[in-house]
Amino acid sequence: MIDTLNSYPNLLMWLSGHLHLNAVTPMPSPDPTRPERGFWEVQTSSLRDFTQQFRMFDIQRNSDNTISIFTTDVDPIMELGSLPALSRYYAVANFQITTLQQGEIVYPPSGVYNAELVKYLTPEMQAKIQNYGTPINK
């Protein structure tokens, strides 16, 4: 499947949530002379899962003919005693119970962070988007 996705130079990122964790993984181009064949895999967990954050994406055109994908993790606002707060309590408890190993809670890397992901563009893609919006300086 990765080989098939690498064949599309206009693919920016692949969003998935099947592993119930937060992670950002670069999928480099198999051809170093064609960096535009690479893309980003961005996994996000369910809002039911610990840490109960959701991710926002902002896609910007850069002046150096690349695209930046800004990923921002967002914490929902919860009032103490509300149903969302109770849900977070249960999500944390479930995480702690299911990761308990030999009397010690093991926390895997969460992948929860804000990031700027850069994507190279083909000359054809650069030409197609050159009149859209104002590029940010890079």
Beta carbons within 8 Å of 12's beta carbon, 6+ residues apart: 39, 40, 59, 67, 69, 119
pLDDT score at 41: 92
137 falls within a domain: no
pTM score, whole prediction: 0.72
How would residue 24 be classed by pLDDT, with cut points 50, 70 and 90? Answer: confident
pLDDT band at 112 (very low <50, low <70, confident <90, very high): low
135 occurs within a structural domain: no
Q: Does residue 73 form part of some domain?
A: yes
The answer to whether residue 106 sits within a structural domain is yes
Maximal C-alpha separation, the chain: 59
How many domains, the chain? 1
Q: What is the pLDDT of residues 80-108, one digit of tens each?
A: 888 888 887 887 777 777 777 656 666 65
Expressed as residue numbers, the domain containing 92 is: 2-129
Q: Within 13 Å, how many C-alpha atoms sit on residue 80's CB side?
A: 0
How much is the pLDDT for 40?
Answer: 93
